[in-house]
Amino acid sequence: MTDRFTRGFIAGVAGSVVKNLINLGLVHLNLSTLRYLDFASVILHGDKPDNTGMAIFFFFVELIWAGALGVFIAYLVPNLRAKNYVYKTAFVTVAAWFIFYTTVTLFEVPIVGETTLGTAISQLLTSLLAGLVYAIVSRWLAPTESEGSLMRFTLHDRFAKGFVAGISAGIAFTAINLSSYSLGFAKNRFLDFIGTLALGSPPETLGEQMFSQAIVLVLLGSLGVVFSYLLPQLNEENYLLKGWLFSVIFWFSIYSIGTLFRTPTLYKIPWQTGITNFIAATVFGPLMAWTIYLLDQKYLDNHGETENV
């Protein structure tokens, strides 16, 4: 199938069917409290489905949304031979999950604006699975455009370098943030901010805190991906300064969103917390940029391989 739009739509729907079926099973087992179709119903109808007919209707609405996301992925990652293809598609589906959860939290959408840890974890994992199914179906629909191992991970790729660099620098960011909190200087942890966006309320239990911290590292890894693709457009001169400014802009944006939407743990934060996170961002940005630079030298210049999206 050569039409990228159709291929993306079919693959997106296929991934959504799998994640919805698993999600329904988890709800039946009381491991999750919300179905994907509940989110579609609340957004469009204002409440959960009242009957089976409505549930079926909103199930198909969810499939259409997933198909549209599939089309977006098809144009975002057009080359089926792209290195780390499956990881890129999974990355986009997980990013869509986080953006959606953040949006309903910021706008305080009833019913779905605050979720349980079990619901958040199950929907994160099923979103990840949907990305894997998308990649498999996409390559099945266009076998002549696909080659090589689907699951092979390589650092000869800007996506992988950025993600690894972001997580590596994110560990330093987290160490500074948690150390300041442990010493009683910072009054909030960064995981409290991100946990509020992902769960709808500040993380309290150990499980919620661990989940929130994992999301923090993935988010910082995502920043590394964005900067990795941005850096060649800016050229690598003064890359440490560029990394620092990129990181500080992210720090400012997070705080601005919290203030604009009056989000708990993000609104009127203590100055000690602000300074701590600014210092952490100041370390994160240059360290991320430096790690990307080192990986570029090792996995591009020494091997002379051309990278693709």
* Single-letter amino acid code for the residue at 61: V
Determine the pLDDT at residue 120. 94
Within this chain, do residues 62 and 179 fall inside the same structural domain, yes or no?
Answer: no
Q: Do the domain assignments include residue 230?
A: yes
Q: How many other CB atoms are found less than 10 A from the CB of residue 33?
A: 14
Query: Residues 59-68: pLDDT tens digits?
Result: 999 999 999 9
Residue 184's Cβ-side half-sphere holds a number of Cα atoms within 13 Å equal to: 0
Query: Residues 291-308: pLDDT tens digits?
Result: 999 999 888 644 444 455
Q: How many other CB atoms are found less than 10 A from the CB of residue 199?
A: 22
Within this chain, do residues 103 and 187 fall inside the same structural domain, yes or no?
Answer: no
Query: Residues 217-238: pLDDT tens digits?
Result: 999 999 999 999 998 888 878 9
Query: Residues 177-188: pLDDT tens digits?
Result: 999 999 999 998
Within this chain, do residues 131 and 169 fall inside the same structural domain, yes or no?
Answer: no
Identify whether the C-beta of residue 197 lies closer than 8 Å to the C-beta of residue 106. yes
Read off the pTM.
Answer: 0.89
Q: Do the domain assignments include residue 152?
A: no
Within this chain, do residues 176 and 281 fall inside the same structural domain, yes or no?
Answer: yes
Kindly give, in sequence order, each residue whose CB lies less than 8 Å from that of residue 185, ignoring residues fewer than 6 positions away: 272, 276
Within this chain, do residues 103 and 238 fall inside the same structural domain, yes or no?
Answer: no
Within this chain, do residues 225 and 281 fall inside the same structural domain, yes or no?
Answer: yes
Indicate the number of domains in the chain. Answer: 2
Within this chain, do residues 256 and 232 fall inside the same structural domain, yes or no?
Answer: yes
> Which residue segment(s) compose the domain that 26 sits in?
4-145
The three-state (H, E, C) secondary structure of 247-268, written as one string? HHHHHHHHHHHHHHHCCCCCCC
Q: Do the domain assignments include residue 140?
A: yes
3-class DSSP state of 305:
coil
